[in-house]
Structure 1
Amino acid sequence: MRKLLIPLTYLVFLVLLIVPLIKIAFGAWEDGVDGLIHAITRPEAVHALMMTGLIVIVVTLLNTLFGVMLSIYLVRGTWLGSRLKQLLNSIVDLPFSVSPVIGGLMIVLILGPSTTIGAFFESIGFKIVYAFPGMVLATLFVTFPLMVREVMPVLQEIGTQQEEAASTLGAYGWTTFWKVTWPLIRWGVIYGVVLTIARSLGEFGAVLVVSGNVMNKTQTATTLVYQDVENFNVVSANGVALILVAFSVALLLVMEWSKKRKGVH
């Protein structure tokens, strides 16, 4: 069985991942260097890539802050009851079980311009849906579990002995976190950041629903690729997709290299 399953695994990996990446790379260069440069420097592509970058930055910062905070509460929060912890754990896993399109639709139904909350925010000049804030919320909804599910197992594994020792010696809460907890969970947080960035770059369904996909306004790189494919502009679509793939792969490779250099397992 081993001799059968190992080659089968490599075959599936090759067909589902490597071949499409090679196809995208060759498709981006189909019109030569000039075609690739034009695909990624046209005004709509520049705007979409900048919009994607802004979303990635904001979502990563929010995801890191609240993800680490919630992880500590769920593992260390003795004041939280077991039922409440189970409920919060279920809510964290909700994006894994709900389609991103449904997540985007929920944001529209709650914060859309036709709702009470959305109309109130628009009346004070703060538009959420079909604007940048809604796109951030949609991406945050999809990526939020990634940080929590990376940090929680690390907190559970290291236990509380070192933190309790620091507290016994008179360290305050923030001092204990930065001097004891943070060095132990640092690589879990970093890996959660890498996964968040990679997932944010590739998010499509939820962002498409809440953004409206308006060119040069609320269009991201993934929705631009979708529009190019719909317009049979496949070379340009491959060019933008290649940029996203290259950045994600480079980020993961740098992460793995750093872990090996630091001897992290």
Structure 2
Amino acid sequence: MAGQLGASLAVRSAPPFTCHSSFNPLSISACRPSSSASACTRPLNCAVSSSSSAVTSGFRPQRFSFEFRSSFLTDGALRRHSGFSSGANSSSYDGRMSRRKAGVPRAAGGAGTGIRKTASGGIVPTKPGQFLLIGLGVAYMSLIVIIPFLNVFVQAFSFGLRPFINNLLDPAFQSAVRMTLTVAGIVVPINTLFGLIIAIWVTRHDFPGKALLLSALDLPFSISPVVVGLMLMILYGRQGVFAPLLRAWNIDIVFALPGMILATCFVTLPFVVREVIPVMQEMDPYEEEAARTMGANDWEVFWQVTLPNIRLGLLYGVTLCNARAMGEFGAVSVISGNIIGKTQTLTLFVEAAYKEYNTQGAFSAALLLSVFALITLVIKTKLEDERSKQLSVR
């Protein structure tokens, strides 16, 4: 359809009259002619011009000029080009255009629905039932998450700051912190590397067994961590499948750091992969192909094209992977043996200290883990905001 449709009709009639014509999806309405040119500013505008000259044989020549636009043509260039009036009568259309340009969402329902949307897209509750549901959700979150989390801070400082500092200086506590940071520092880079490789291979290639591989990536989410530790014991234990080979090479897996790393790698593998795959699928592959046609090799394409596009998703996956690695308990407790000063992490220290009635030490370790969780939450929120801004720009 052209930007502006114009039609001129020569009509002869004895008395002045009003003519209306409409059809869907376009609607044309003509104004009652008058002695001077006038403009009817409606969703479909029409301009009428009449001659004030003498009437010939009782007939007065009338000239109607129709200029109209459809309701689905909202381009500002059309409005400027067609020269529609911006008077008070055009508020119905101009207001709709201004609301769309400003990004204000339309109403979620008709009158009496009790729903009102904000500029950010959220719904403002206006009915008692909606407030009741929100109150139930807040109460549930308070009982399950907020109150227990705050209780950790209260119990950690219940006897003052001095006992808390003494717990931090405990050699067993410091050994647990070092072990936790060591395991996380090794597992996160490994899963980041292999997660990137799997994500790129899955999204950029088709191969037999691709669906099976994608399903296998979710196994750590569906299998209990305790079962994972038991499987590793069966494979790498003293009577396990690989026991003769490990004894020949003098390698200790069970009750040692390598076994803890294997267990943590298993339970944290999906985080990086599952965050990078959707970003890779949204990314336009023609950008990489264009870089290759310009002479870039695969390594240059990855660093200069692929990585900048998946950066936020990758950082988000790394953050979640690190949080899960520091908080892992089930698989590590089975394969590590919970040896104090050797294979004990912070989560295992909390359990051991609580069983020994060292409540203050247990809550001190839990407080440190909570601080790590808060830092992870802040980073996660920042990355989500950045991703939202990036998607809105696209």
TM-score for the superposition, normalised by structure 2: 0.64
1:52 aligns with 2:198: no
**Structure having the higher Rg:** 2
Q: Among 350, 361, 364, which residue is 1:236 paired with?
A: 361
Query: 1:77: Cα distance to partner?
Result: 1.8
Partner of 2:248: 123
Cα distance in 2 between the residues matched to 1:49 and 1:110: 28
Cα distance in 2 between the residues matched to 1:199 and 1:261: 22
* Higher share in helix: 1
1:195 aligns with 2:317: no
Deviations 1:56-82 (A, max 9, x none): 00000101000111011111123x12x
- Aligned residue runs from structure 1 range 24-39, under 5 A: 24-39=152-167
**Residues matched between the structures, number:** 262
Q: What letter is aligned with 1:43?
A: P
Q: Among 204, 229, 239, which residue is 1:104 paired with?
A: 229
SS of residue matched to 1:101: helix
Partner of 2:203: 75
SS of residue matched to 2:295: coil
Query: 1:192: Cα distance to partner?
Result: 0.7
Partner of 1:253: 378
Contact 1:40/1:46 (CA < 8 Å) preserved in 2? yes
Query: 1:258: Cα distance to partner?
Result: 5.9
SS of residue matched to 2:131: helix
Q: Among 7, 12, 16, which residue is 2:144 paired with?
A: 16
Q: Which has the higher contact order (CA 8 A, sep 6+)?
A: 1
Cα distance in 1 between the residues matched to 2:142 and 2:286: 45
Query: 1:90: Cα distance to partner?
Result: 1.3
Deviations 1:157-207 (A, max 9, x none): 113121122122222111111111100101111011110111111100000
Q: Calculate percent identity across the aligned residue pairs.
A: 39
Cα distance in 1 between the residues matched to 2:149 and 2:173: 20
Q: Among 328, 334, 343, which residue is 1:218 paired with?
A: 343
Runs of 4+ deviating beyond 3 Å: 257-265
Contact 1:118/1:127 (CA < 8 Å) preserved in 2? no
- Aligned residue runs from structure 1 range 135-150, under 5 A: 135-150=260-275
Cα distance in 1 between the residues matched to 2:325 and 2:220: 13
Structure 1 unaligned blocks of 5 or more: none
Contact 2:320/2:376 (CA < 8 Å) preserved in 1? no
Query: 1:228: Cα distance to partner?
Result: 1.1
SS of residue matched to 1:106: helix
Q: In the superposition, relative to structure 1, how do residues 119 and 28 fare at CA in structure 2: closer, same or farther (>3 Å)?
A: farther
Cα distance in 2 between the residues matched to 1:116 and 1:14: 47
* Higher share in strand: 2
Deviations 1:91-136 (A, max 9, x none): 1100111000001111111111212413422332211111000001
Cα distance in 2 between the residues matched to 1:196 and 1:178: 22
